[in-house]
Amino acid sequence: MADTLTHRILMTGASGFVGPYVSEALHRVCSRDIAVVATSKDGGPHRVFGQIDALDVTDKVAVLEAIARHRPTHVVHLAAVAALGAAQADPQNTWRIHVQGALNVAHAILEKAPECWLLHVGSGLVYGESAKAGLPLDESALLAPVDDYAVTKAAADLALGALSRHGLKCIRLRPFNHTGPGQTESFAVPAFAMQIARIEAGLAPPVIRVGNLDAERDFLDARDVASAYARVVLNSADLKPNTIFNVASGISWRMGDILERLLAQSSVKIVTEQDSMRLRPSDLPRIVGDATRARTQLGWTPKHPFEDTLAAVLEDCRARVALA
């Protein structure tokens, strides 16, 4: 990457759902004075990035070489086991990717590019049991995760916080639920939408199988989440290392209400049926975040109404079903 550029950004996990959104936000928010090297475990051609470099964050030597070669000013660390189900299915792998992967990136930065900022993308789920108070959670809330996904995200979050005492310029991000076109069916909103799209196409009976519809979650459009990350890059010179930012809307959405809004956009009559396999025993009734700090220090606010996001997800799912 050319030394004349102000922002030389290396992105891990770029081929995942959020990666293309972050790339777009970085170029929009940070203007043209930017270069992005996209990496993921499986490199190759990509519709957004053109090409993605292969980088397995659990390979300590490969990570060290990548940081030394690209000398980034910022690393946006997205690499993760994205879905809760996959994280639960192979906990050992989840610990390896979430914790050891993050530590490999952090130590490589300290050794090869100590002035580089690390943006660690964690999760609002690290607050876990703290959500039972029913109040919006700010960054001072106790970390009390309840499953393998959240526990490993919390472990990485805390480990990086400790490394900041040794010179790591890290910003710890805790995004709450987010969705948008391109997300897989491992997540609730596209799972609802894909079932509707298949029913409309005559590929499934008019019944949607659902889990706990009374759970309330804080939802954002993926574009708004990506914008928050980009604003961290833009404002990093004015931020203190080891700052933590929640990325949240502060609004709770009942899962049943989300489903009803999607069903209201369907041209066919669909009934719902509870599926015991979709019920999570550790479900927390309500999880809502407080992102006052991001609003104050980054000048960030969500721009996209969630109703519009739901409509976009449903249209995307219809298009995917039509192409299948």
Indicate the fold that domain 188-215+252-287+312-323 takes in CATH: UDP-galactose 4-epimerase; domain 1 (3.90.25)
* Tens place of pLDDT per residue across the chain (324 aa): 445 568 999 999 999 999 999 999 999 999 878 999 999 999 999 989 999 999 999 999 999 999 999 999 999 999 999 888 899 999 999 999 999 999 999 999 999 999 999 999 999 999 999 999 989 999 999 999 999 999 999 999 999 999 999 999 999 999 999 999 999 999 999 999 999 999 999 999 999 988 788 999 999 999 999 999 999 999 999 999 999 999 999 999 999 999 999 999 998 999 998 887 777 655 789 999 999 999 999 999 999 999 999 999 999 999 999 998
Distance CA 258, CA 229 (A): 26
Are the C-beta atoms of residues 169 and 238 closer than 8 Å to each other? no
Question: What phi-psi label fits residue 156: left (phi over 0), alpha (psi between -120 and 50 degrees) or beta?
Answer: alpha
Distance CA 246, CA 292 (A): 8
Distance CA 163, CA 104 (A): 12
Give every strand in the sheet of 7-12, ordered side by side.
44-46, 50-54, 34-40, 7-12, 74-77, 117-121, 169-175, 244-247
pLDDT of residue 277: 75
Instruction: Decide: helix, strand or coil at residue 213.
Output: coil
Length of the chain: 324
Burial 189-205 (b: 16+ CB within 10 A, else e): bbbbbbbbbbbbeeebe
pLDDT of residue 281: 54
Provide the 8-state DSSP code for 231.
H
Identity of residue 283: D
Distance CA 247, CA 289 (A): 7
Within 30-123, where are the H helices?
Answer: 60-70, 84-89, 91-95, 101-112
Q: What pTM was computed for the model?
A: 0.95
44-46/50-54 β-pairing: antiparallel
pLDDT of residue 271: 93
Indicate the fold that domain 7-180+220-250+288-303 takes in CATH: Rossmann fold (3.40.50)
pLDDT of residue 276: 77
Distance CA 230, CA 74 (A): 11
pLDDT of residue 84: 86
Q: Name residues whose C-beta falls within 8 Å of residue 171's C-beta, 6 or more positions apart in sequence.
A: 117, 118, 119, 120, 232, 236, 239, 241, 242, 243, 244, 245
Nearest to 150 by CA among 177, 123, 187: 123
Rg (CA), the chain: 20
Report residue 293: phi and psi, to 5°.
Answer: -65, -40
The ranges assigned to domains in the chain are 7-180+220-250+288-303, 188-215+252-287+312-323
